[in-house]
Structure 1
Amino acid sequence: MGIPRGRRRLAMAVAALLATVAVAVIGYRVLAPAEVSTVARAEYPAAARPAAGVIGRLPVAPLIVDGRLRVYAAHRQVYADRPVDGRYRTSPYWSYRRWPAELTGVVASGSTVVSRWSDGRLVALDASTGRVRWRADGPAPARSTAVVRRTGAATVWNPSGLFLANRAGGRTVLTVTGDRQASGVEMSSGRELWRTDLPGRCRSDIGTTASGQLIGLDACAGPATIEFRDPVTGLVSERWRPPGGPNNLVVTPLGCRTGRSECLALRTAGPGDAGGRGWLLDSGEPLAAPALDPAGVAVVGEQAVGVVDGTAVGRSTRSGAEVWRNAGLGPARVLATQPGRVHLLTETNDLVTLDPATGRLLSRCTLNVGSDGTGWAPGAVWAEAGYVAVERLREPVDPDGDDQRYYLTAEAVILAAT
């Protein structure tokens, strides 16, 4: 005796409903917004003091935090490994993931690591444990059409719209900008200090000054003008144009401590690098600094360092007077700077580190590891805490090539201690 047709239809409807509910539950668990924090289970490592030379090679760009950890960026993850002078990348010391948001930038100050996400969320992590210190909602990041390469160098070494401003008394403000808004966030607590509307893509960010002001370039109404914004109040304190400067300015920050934060100077030019001029950033209006006019000159402390006819030359940024010269390096160019060090790269890919105050040689090493050789071109570069990391690109460089063609090897980043 069969099941009555009415009951059969009811049973089929119930089964279909249960299947739909099951699929919905599974879909929610897979696709629902989520975060996964895997904290450290080992002791916080001591700061390393490796001898000068190549430490190793890595597949992704490291941000060295607190002199103890290497922090990396992935598509939806920020994570750290140790030791800081390890030859290869190791298993994560801690990890933080979010879904479905994408990681757009990472900055660090002391033992605090702040990640920015595509939905505008800011998440601060304790570098020693990986635990969340605070969360905040910041401005939505600017839309970008730039290619995101596999090393993540742009995310950790030059994050768009994330700048640190150090104020008197050790107070650090994180300034966060997008297309339409900017805000200032207390680094220690995540408390929002201010938020303001921006005019759109006709305005761009340059960096922050050593005194903490946010530098912007406003081309929305009339000739391009440089603006300086107070990081604590968010108010524009000054608008400035170089005397006799072109209407379309190209502005390059110089002498920045990390990324484009805490910069000592600017270089302004017109399209095609026409009429380049250097300017020191003091508390008031920028001061003309002719020693910074040539492209390729770097600023470290009170010195402007460049290479002239194969000789490294240090000049006073204020007077332009020559302070030192080092003629024993061979053909080279300035690669990167950090407080107390200026790094040059020779034509044979030797990394030469000089004392910027005296020109004295601090270290020299060939940027080679294993059997990789030195037949490569430098890509993105980062220098801090006595370390230098360089992307190695396959020659001839093809900026439109895929990652396999673009990079020299799978472990494209070489890391050296200086």
Structure 2
Amino acid sequence: MRFPKGWRVAAAVVAALLGAGAVAAVGYRVLAPAEVETVARAGYPPAVTPTVGVVGRLSAAPLIVDGRLRVYAAARQVYADQPADRGYRAAPYWSYRRWPARLSGVVADGTTVVSRWSDGKLVALDARTGRVAWRADDVEPGVLPEPRRTYAAAVWEPSGLSVARTPTGRTVLVVAGPGQLSAYDLVDGHRLWRVDRERGCLGAAGTTADGEVLGLTKCDGPETVEFRDAVTGAVRARWRPPDASETFVMTPLGCRQGRSGCRGLRISEGAGSGRGWLVGAGGPQAAPGLDGVDTALDGERAVGTSAGVVTGRSARTGAELWRRADLGPVRIIAVEPGRVHLLTEQRELVTLDPSTGAERSRSALTIGHDGIDWQPGQAYATGGYVAVERAREGAVPDDDDQAYFLVPEPVLLVAT
């Protein structure tokens, strides 16, 4: 049976509209803003005591959380695997994805993992389950360098994210963005305060071990260090180093993790050595033991390397406490409370006690057939674990990932 021509045209139009509607529906489902929360199905893993040595190699940089999980970053995802000492990356224990925003950084304290996104959203996850604990809207983080495939910078030293632990036991998340500084209660995400200034005149460098926000301002004159109350945002003190130039570089030292819980800082005119200072009650105190650029801080003990000698000094006075001349040329790659981690030319990881110089452990950083012809990239230490990127000998920061990294799984995880 033949339909009239008008009916055939109408049917074709209806079919086209239905097809377009189906395409639009599919496109919306694919491209619309989305959030996917995949929670843990297994029980929270127990803490482990790993055997000293190389635990394994990974393709992404791990953030060790609560001594039980490893948290990773990707372009639009933050996820975890377990246990912490697994020799390879496993199927996610939990995962959280967002679209189309991109992940900017991750910071963790206790069992709370906070992710920051390119649209300014803050999302806190309970590390034990992967469930969203709270969400908040903050300023967009601004333009950040394109991350390498390990996302080490996003988890080991996230730009604009730090945590303050106050003397009263409160934990505060501090967030810095272009022209803005804000703080949130880490437990429930309640905003405690916010400071808005002209773009480029206000920045946060981290938090101190005494629970203050350590910032840098150049809004109304020469560059100045500000110390703020983490709970109220009130400026407690403003300070400029004696004889400092109009602008300077401030590098936090002796931090608990990333730029959180720092006990000192170094002020310099640019790359290279500068003047060291301890921060705490009573304001910054000169610390000549921290003046050298190859010097790390643990409490009030400074550990430095020079001409194949490792030296422990009083940060406050510079007086020598101990020295080791038996390790050969070494470099400090990471520090955590009670441990300073050094890398030898033979690619051994030597961990010393910063107060005595005694050797706590030593491990050859070799696995499989990877060899030792590599140079360290970024590194991280917490809870007795050390993770280090392995770059090709001669690689430079401008190289792409293929030319920069030694192998497809460039991150070594080591127990010390």
TM-score normalised by structure 1 residue count: 0.96
Q: State the alpha-carbon separation in 1 of the partners of residues 403 and 219 from structure 2.
A: 39
**Aligned residue for 1:66?**
66
Q: For 1:4 and 1:405, how far apart are their aligned partners in 2?
A: 67
Aligned mates of 2:16, 2:353 — CA distance in 1: 75
Partner of 1:19 in structure 2?
A: 19
Q: Could you tell me which runs of 5 or more consecutive residues in structure 1 were left unpaired when the two chains were aligned.
A: none
Distance 2:89 2:61 in 1: 10
Indicate if the aligned counterparts of 1:248 and 1:271 stay in contact, CA closer than 8 A. Answer: no
Aligned residue number for residue 49 of structure 1: 49
1:270 aligns with 269
Whether the aligned pair in 2 keeps the contact of 1:269 and 1:277 (CA below 8 Å) is yes
In 2, are the aligned partners of 1:48 and 1:85 still within 8 Å (CA)? yes
Task: State the partner residue of 2:311.
Answer: 313
Confirm or deny: 8 A CA contact 1:139 1:183 kept in the other structure. Answer: no
Displacement of 1:272? 4.2
Structure 1 match to 2:188:
189
Q: Which deviates further from its counterpart, 219-228 or 60-69?
A: 219-228
Report 1:177-326 matches (<5 A): 177-273=176-272, 276-326=274-324
Q: Which letter maps to 2:320?
A: E
Supply the AA of the counterpart residue of 2:278: L
User: What per-residue deviation string (whole Å, max 9, x for no partner) do you get for residues 26-70 of structure 1?
Assistant: 111111111111111112111111121111100000000000011
For residues 209-251 of structure 1, the C-alpha deviation after alignment (integer angstroms, 9 at most, x for no partner) is 1112222222344322112222211222222110101222011
2:63 maps to 1:88: no
- SS of structure 1 residue aligned to 2:332: strand
**SS at 2:216 equivalent:** strand
Provide closer, same or farther for how the CA distance between residues 272 and 300 of structure 1 changes in structure 2, counting only shifts above 3 A: closer
Render the CA deviation track for 1:350-395: whole Å, top value 9, x for unaligned.
1110111111110011111111111111110100011000000011
Structure 1 stretch 146-155 or stretch 326-335: which is displaced more? Answer: 326-335
Q: Kindly provide the amino acid, as one letter, of the partner of residue 166 in structure 1.
A: R
Between 227-236 and 334-343, report the one with greater CA deviation. 227-236
Can you list the C-alpha shifts for 1:395-414, whole angstroms capped at 9, x where unaligned?
Answer: 11132221111000000001
User: Equivalent residue for 2:358?
Assistant: 360
In structure 1, how many angstroms separate the alpha carbons of the residues matched to 2:200 and 2:389? 29
Q: Read off the aligned partner of 1:301 and give its amino acid letter.
A: G
Helix, strand or coil at the partner of 2:168: helix
SS in 1 for 2:246: coil
What does residue 351 of structure 1 align with?
A: 349
Q: Which amino acid aligns with 2:275?
A: R
User: Residues of 2 paired with 1:373 and 1:224: CA distance?
Assistant: 46
Farther off after superposition, 206-215 or 184-193: 206-215
Kindly indicate whether the alpha-carbon contact (under 8 Å) linking 2:55 and 2:413 is maintained by their aligned counterparts in 1: yes
Q: Residues of 1 paired with 2:296 and 2:114: CA distance? A: 28
- Structure 2 CA distance for aligned equivalents of residues 134 and 271 of structure 1: 39
Q: What is aligned with 2:164? A: 165
The letter for the 1-side match of 2:235 is V
Give SS of 1:416's match: strand
Give yes or no for contact 1:69–1:83 (8 Å, CA) kept in 2: yes
CA distance in structure 2 between the partners assigned to 1:248 and 1:272 by the alignment: 13
> CA-to-partner distance for each residue in 1:50-103, whole Å, 9 max, x for gaps?
121111100000000000011100111111111211111111111111111111
Mean CA deviation greater in 309-318 or 7-16: 7-16
Alignment of 1:56-135 (within 5 A): 56-135=56-135
Aligned with 1:334 (options 327, 332, 335):
332
Distance 2:57 2:6 in 1: 70
Aligned equivalent of 2:405: 407
Q: Secondary structure at the match of 2:12?
A: helix
CA RMSD of aligned residues (A): 1.5
TM-score by length of 2: 0.97
Checking the alignment, whether the CA contact within 8 Å between 1:143 and 1:179 is kept in structure 2 is no
Shift of 1:2: 4.0
Match of residue 376 from structure 1: 374
What is the SS of the residue equivalent to 2:92?
coil
CA distance in 1, matches of 2:67, 2:198: 39
Supply the distance in 1 between the matched residues of 2:270 and 2:62 (Cα, whole angstroms).
Answer: 33
Distance 1:150 1:414 in 2: 15
